Structure 1
Amino acid sequence: MIYQLTKDATVEELEAAGLGSNYAIRNGALFPSDANGVPWTAAYIQAHADPITDLHEDMAAEQKARSTYQHLIKLTDDPGITDALRFLREREVVHFQRFGEALRIVQEYMQCKKIF
């Protein structure tokens, strides 16, 4: 999507959009960072070795992603971008549902009596 939106942009347009330093360092290459330019780090990954806690964390991450896509949809009027963002948003909803199903299965397993 980023390549599609910036492929015909001039250096001046990239600079005006605040992407001048990114262009100077990386040309057209993507660089995983947040909207403020803070690079992605594995520190963002949450894991607690407790399946219920981890599944709740996963579900929360899916909801955060869904709301981000919804916000991005509001920021664009490009039909191609909107369609792609809607697809990604709906995918997050499905992921949330699957994690919810996994959570239910884990909770049921943890409540059942174990006989060895």
Structure 2
Amino acid sequence: MVYQLMENATIEEIKKAGLAGHYADHRKALFYTDATGNPWTATYIQAKGDPIADLHEDLAAEQKARATYENLIHLTDEPEIKEILTFLREREVVHFQRFGECLDHIQEKMDMKKYK
């Protein structure tokens, strides 16, 4: 999607979009940052080594991603971009559902062990 948006962009369009600094450092290549330009870091990944705590973290991450896609959908008028973002948002909903099923399964297994 980023490549599609940037592929035919002129230098003037890049400047107007506020991406001159990005272009100076990375041209039209991807460089993973959040919406305010902070670089991606592995500290975004949360893990405790406890399956229940980790699954709750995964569930929260999926909901945060879904909310972000919804925000991005509201920020664009481009139908093709909305279509892509809607697909990605729906994928996060499915991920949330699968993590929820895993959590139920893990909790059932842990409850069985407690009573044996």
Q: TM-score range by the shorter chain?
A: over 0.9
For 1:22-81, what per-residue CA distance to the aligned partner results, in whole angstroms no more than 9, with x for missing partners? 111111100011011111010110000110000000000000000111111111111111
Q: Which amino acid aligns with 2:46?
A: Q
Moved more, 12-21 or 86-95: 12-21
- TM score, norm. by length of structure 2: 0.94
Query: In structure 1, how many angstroms separate the alpha carbons of the residues matched to 2:113 and 2:54?
Result: 23
Tell me the percent identity: 63
Q: Give the equivalent residue in structure 2 for 1:104.
A: 104
Secondary structure of the corresponding residue to residue 72 of structure 1:
helix
Q: Give the equivalent residue in structure 2 for 1:12.
A: 12
Q: Which amino acid aligns with 1:104?
A: D
- TM score, norm. by length of structure 1: 0.94
Q: Give the equivalent residue in structure 2 for 1:48.
A: 48
Query: In structure 2, how many angstroms separate the alpha carbons of the residues matched to 1:5 and 1:107?
Result: 44
Shift of 1:114: 6.4
Shift of 1:12: 1.9
Moved more, 1-10 or 25-34: 1-10
Runs of 4+ in 1 over 6 A off after TM superposition: none
Counterparts of residues 19-98 of structure 1 (less than 5 Å): 19-98=19-98
Count of residue pairs the alignment pairs up = 116
5+ residue gaps in structure 2?
none
5+ residue gaps in structure 1?
none
